[in-house]
Amino acid sequence: MSGPFLQVADLSMRFGGLLAVDGIAFDVRDREIFAIIGPNGAGKTTVFNCISGFYKPSTGRISLQGQELAGLGSHTVARHGVVRTFQNVRLFKHMTVLENLLVAQHRHLKTSLPAGLLRTRAYRESEQKALDNALHWLDYMGLREFVNREAGNLAYGHQRRLEIARCMVTQPRVLMLDEPAAGLNPQEKKDLQSLIEQLRNQYGLAVLLIEHDMSLVMGVSERILVMEHGRPIALGTPEAIRGDERVIKAYLGEE
């Protein structure tokens, strides 16, 4: 494992008078699975929104392999290879499963207007490549049988997997999952855990994870950041976090 890959330093986010996130600093190493946990309202999703460019942080630096990301637009951040899923799944519900994956590859495609109108060879080839890539990921995720189905009609667990597949077709370097296990049954949670590990091992991703399900978090992540009221209270390996008094206090309350 190499040095810092995704680096977050001194991150704070202020909404008017409310300091939602304050003094967050951590770094995710290459090929690391890193989790952020904390009680509801601790500011985990706000940190996600800052990293993925949906919020412009009030202060702080976010860099990916030395490339500054803070303040770039969300689509630019995604183009640098940092893609995310959402707490409540955001699929293109009225488009088919396949089309969801094709749209995600938009920027990899040859999209020039004349080429598309005349269906040049290069255009058809790039469409075919996108199609193959999409089908590969549907096979990988076990969603192949639903390929022509409208995404909104899939079962919830499948929608979650499709959302991850949609991230993967963009060939990300950092995959950010916002509560990927929410609403899944125990079997699906187990599958999710192995999926996350598999993706990391096969595709060399760094994975950044927000999750409430403790068995998943403890099982899958290498390091964990614990937040409370927008501030970091602990950072370390799952074993260290499990024994940390401040963390226990945050979750169980004072005696």
Partner 1 sequence: MSTAPAASASGAGWRQNLGHALMATVLTAIVVTPIFGLHLERAGARTHIVPQWHMVGWACLIVFVVQLLHPWIFGRATRRLPRLALPTLSARQNTVLLTLVLLVAVTWPFFAGRNAVDIATLAMIYVMLGLGLNVVVGFAGLLDLGFVGFYAVGAYTYALLFHWAGWSFWEALPLAGAASALFGFVLGFPVLRLRGDYLAIVTLGFGEIIRLLLVNLTSFTGGPDGISSIPKPSVFGLEMARSSGVEGGTTFHQFFGLEFNSLHMVIFLYLMALLLAVITLWISNRLIRMPIGRAWEALREDEIACRSLGLNPMSIKLSAFTLGAMFAGFGGAFFAARQGIVNPESFTFIESALILAIVVLGGMGSQVGVILAAILLTVLPEFAREFAEYRMLVFGLVMIVMMVWRPQGLLPMKRHHVEVT
Residue 46's SS3 state is helix
What letter would DSSP give residue 89? -
What are the tokens at 212? 């409430």
Question: Does position 140 bind partner 1 by CB under 8 A?
Answer: no
Question: Which CB sits closer to partner 1, 183 or 186?
Answer: 183
Give me the 154-173 binding string for partner 1, x by CB under 8 A, dash otherwise: ------------xx--x---
What are the tokens at 95? 């488009």
For partner 1, the binding residue among 106, 242, 246, 249 (CB under 8 A) is 106
CB of 93 to partner 1, least distance (A): 7
- Residue among 152, 162, 154, 146 at smallest CA distance from 93: 152
For partner 1, the binding residue among 79, 242, 246, 249 (CB under 8 A) is 79
Question: Does position 120 bind partner 1 by CB under 8 A?
Answer: no
Residue 179's SS3 state is coil
* Cα separations in angstroms, 203 against 59, 99, 168, 198, 224: 32, 23, 9, 8, 22
Question: Does position 116 bind partner 1 by CB under 8 A?
Answer: yes
For partner 1, the binding residue among 127, 197, 222, 244 (CB under 8 A) is 127
Give the H or E element holding residue 64: strand 59-64
Q: How far from chain centre, in Å, is Cα 248?
A: 26
Question: Does position 25 bind partner 1 by CB under 8 A?
Answer: no
Nearest-angstrom CA–CA distance, 89 and 152: 10
CB of 95 to partner 1, least distance (A): 6
CB of 241 to partner 1, least distance (A): 29
**Which parts of this chain interact with partner 1 (CB under 8 A)?**
52-54, 73-76, 78-79, 83-84, 86, 90-96, 98-99, 102-104, 106-107, 109, 111, 113, 116-117, 127, 131, 135, 147-148, 166-167, 170
